[in-house]
Amino acid sequence: MVTGKEVYTSNELRKKYLNFFLDKGHKVITSASLFPENDPSVLFTTAGMHPLVPYLLGEKHPFGERLVDYQKCIRTGDIDEVGDATHLTYFEMLGNWSLGDYFKKESISMSYEFLTSVLKIPIDKIAVTVFAGDDQVAKDIEAYEIWRSLGLKEEQIYFYGKKENWWGPAGQTGPCGPDTEIFYDTGKEKCCEDCGPSCGCGKFIEIWNNVFMEYNKLPDRSYIYLKQKNVDTGMGLERILAVINEKESVYETDVLKPIISKIESITGSPYNVENEREYRIICDHMRAITFILGDSKAIVPSNSEQGYILRRLIRRTIRMFKKLGIMENKLTDITDTVIELNEAVYPELTDNKSFIREQLRKEYALFNKTLDSGLKIAEKYINQLSEGETLSGVAAFKLYDTFGFPIEFTREIAKEKGFEVDLDGFYHSFSEHQEKSRTGAEGRFKGGLADNSQQTTKLHTATHLLNGALRKVLGDSIYQKGSNINAERLRFDFSFDRKLTPDELDEVSAIVNEAIQKGIEIQCEEKTVQEAKEQGAIGVFDNKYSDIVKVYTIEGYSKEICGGPHAVNTGELKQFKIVKEESSSAGVRRIKAVIG
């Protein structure tokens, strides 16, 4: 692989990356939460662009037009692939952005310079892909010519369609555009005549993606040009570490190898080809679990949305330990290792260590009671099947309902025995809870803050008024636990340990409507985090904020740190109405409301 070069640690690579782009006029921003704010189209932050959506759509960023960072990310679409050499549930994304400043030539040139001059990757080890064009958007000849001018041969450049070389939007609508992906050529022989970066044979490893965001996808699936052209790049920390350090898999890098070593000490067996899959799944999942539980949003295992994914990861990990013969709860032992490895970069893990450990103990105790019994019943169901048959949806639902087996969990058990599960039958049996599954959760809304529509912008402003009103009625101990907006309504989660009375709900609504009737101009100022604190701005004051933040003020009603966008005047909201108040989870209440 890459020869004659120094070995990099993850900390050294982060530093080199940030310093390179600092020298190119970028400003460093801090990693945001794993849970996107006000975007109902995704459950987790899947890329560095999520926290920047308002700025990609034209909002002014406090740090200017050139930004760089490393961002915590969770992607759930590849959970079934975890165990191979490169796929991870939790990973870090190194990213740099141009918000209406430089575009394709500068972006590609900087990426090429970093890879070849800083990381010393030989040019003949690089392969790239470029958008081939379709009936909506033209072929990206400009990116092709830039790569050629930098010295890449024609045979190192591949053209692909939207499936491979188009990024976004993150949800159903929003910023998107063609991309050019950068791959490392391992030197392996081509598997066939058509072998290229899109092939999954392992010859090419994707290491960087440069997205040229010049379009906005609308609800009718058409594209219009954005007001500003943006560049969004993303490079997986773990993958590039493996490449430059000549490692065969990401699990041999310094961010993952110590976790593998910890698993070895727990099982008493060395990591080898026979237990490779189980060790890697435990390693990956425990890292993801620790970061999810360690986030300031305090998500807990549940049967819906992010809590469902968290529960699925925990329960799959428990099963992997059982397969390895470990019958005790060793989850907290692993999470302690994850925290030790990452606390210098992500101090929130240490801050929330007791919460992480408590939730793992609870979930283990809850699931361990039924796991063995459930596995016996599952085996009984599967042993009754003949070749070519599928496990019925009714049986899969019984395993979920009685033993807490997520449907993906049951599918994995069946697959190991060579059988499939009747998913349609499962969802039919479980139709009243379908929304609680990952499949039901993904894509169930058609919009979100990411579409930047007038209505979602107004609803975003309404959440600020609602937050302020709740604090006036219930006290300053109230704080936001999450929000979810689509074009029809807002949903706001907040800390409170009981149901609100009708009088309290009426009072909250009255305060919000009072602010709307007054027609207050909404003010936006840029301040330091310290200034924002001193002036009483509401925010989760952890390391998610940059040194300079935006503070939105609705005089007399709300002052919050927020990226925007917002209505110009509260009068635009016309009228506010609470349609439902309910429990979200222990100690958290949820309000759904509409405006207009």
Report the residue count for the chain. 596
**Residue range 513-527: mean pLDDT, rounded:** 88
Burial of 516 by CB count in 10 Å (0-12 exposed, 13-18 middle, 19+ buried)? Answer: buried
pLDDT, tens digit, for every residue of 10-34? 999 999 999 999 999 999 998 989 9
**Paired tokens of 424:** 């349609």
Confidence of residue 171 (pLDDT cuts 50, 70, 90): low
Q: How would you classify residue 109: left for phi > 0, otherwise alpha for psi between -120 and 50, otherwise beta?
A: alpha
> How many CA atoms, within 13 angstroms, populate the side-chain half-sphere of residue 223?
16
pLDDT at 1 over 80: no
What is the pLDDT at residue 558?
92
pLDDT, tens digit, for every residue of 54-94? 888 788 898 999 999 999 999 887 777 788 888 899 999 99
**Paired tokens of 207:** 């290491």
Is the whole model's pTM more than 0.85, yes or no? no
* Nearest-angstrom CA–CA distance, 190 and 203: 7
**Paired tokens of 67:** 């930004």
Residue type, 32: A
Is 199 a known ligand-binding residue? no
DSSP-derived secondary structure for 416-455 = HTT-EE-HHHHHHHTGGGGGGSHHHHTT--S--GGG--HH
| Neighbouring C-beta atoms of residue 148, cutoff 10 Å | 13
pLDDT, tens digit, for every residue of 528-549? 877 888 888 887 544 445 567 7
Q: With the C-alpha atoms ordered 84, 199, 130, 134, is the resulting torsion angle positive or negative? A: negative
3-state secondary structure of 548: strand
pLDDT, tens digit, for every residue of 375-432? 888 888 888 888 888 898 888 888 887 777 878 888 888 888 889 988 888 887 766 4
DSSP-derived secondary structure for 340-371 = HHHTTT-THHHHTHHHHHHHHHHHHHHHHHHH
* Nearest-angstrom CA–CA distance, 281 and 362: 21
**Paired tokens of 25:** 């006029």
Contact indicator for 191, 216 with CB cutoff of 8 Å: no
User: For the chain, what percentages of helix, strand and coil (3-state, to nearest 5) are there?
Assistant: 45, 20, 35
The answer for residues whose C-beta is within 8 angstroms of residue 264's C-beta and 6 or more apart is 270, 271, 279
What is the pLDDT at residue 478?
87
What is the pLDDT at residue 6?
61
Confidence of residue 200 (pLDDT cuts 50, 70, 90): confident
What is the pLDDT at residue 444?
34
pLDDT above 70: percentage of residues in the chain? 93
Contact indicator for 455, 449 with CB cutoff of 8 Å: no
pLDDT, tens digit, for every residue of 363-379? 998 888 778 788 888 88
- Terminal-to-terminal C-alpha distance of the chain: 61
Q: Write the DSSP symbol of residue 49.
A: T
Residue type, 381: Y
Is 176 a known ligand-binding residue? no
Is 566 a known ligand-binding residue? yes
**Paired tokens of 71:** 């961002």
The answer for residues whose C-beta is within 8 angstroms of residue 498's C-beta and 6 or more apart is none
Contact indicator for 176, 216 with CB cutoff of 8 Å: yes
**Residue range 234-262: mean pLDDT, rounded:** 94
* Nearest-angstrom CA–CA distance, 265 and 279: 12
What is the pLDDT at residue 410?
87
77 vs 254, more confident: 254
pLDDT, tens digit, for every residue of 88-120? 999 999 999 999 999 999 999 999 999 999 999
Max distance between CA atoms of the chain, in angstroms, equals 72
What is the pLDDT at residue 443?
36
> How many CA atoms, within 13 angstroms, populate the side-chain half-sphere of residue 387?
0
Is 464 a known ligand-binding residue? yes
**Paired tokens of 442:** 């993904």
Q: Which residue has the tokens 């006000």?
A: 38
pLDDT above 90: percentage of residues in the chain? 49
Query: What is the DSSP pairing of strand 174-185 with strand 126-131?
Result: antiparallel
What is the pLDDT at residue 555?
92
3-state secondary structure of 425: helix
Q: Which of 75-84, 462-471, 509-518, 586-595 has the lowest mean pLDDT?
A: 75-84
Average pLDDT, the chain: 87
Query: What is the DSSP pairing of strand 90-99 with strand 223-236?
Result: antiparallel
Q: Rounded to the nearest 5 degrees, what angle is found at the Cα of 71, between the Cα atoms of 67 and 74?
A: 145
pLDDT at 440 over 70: no
The answer for residues whose C-beta is within 8 angstroms of residue 178's C-beta and 6 or more apart is 130, 131, 137, 140, 143, 165, 166, 167, 211, 212
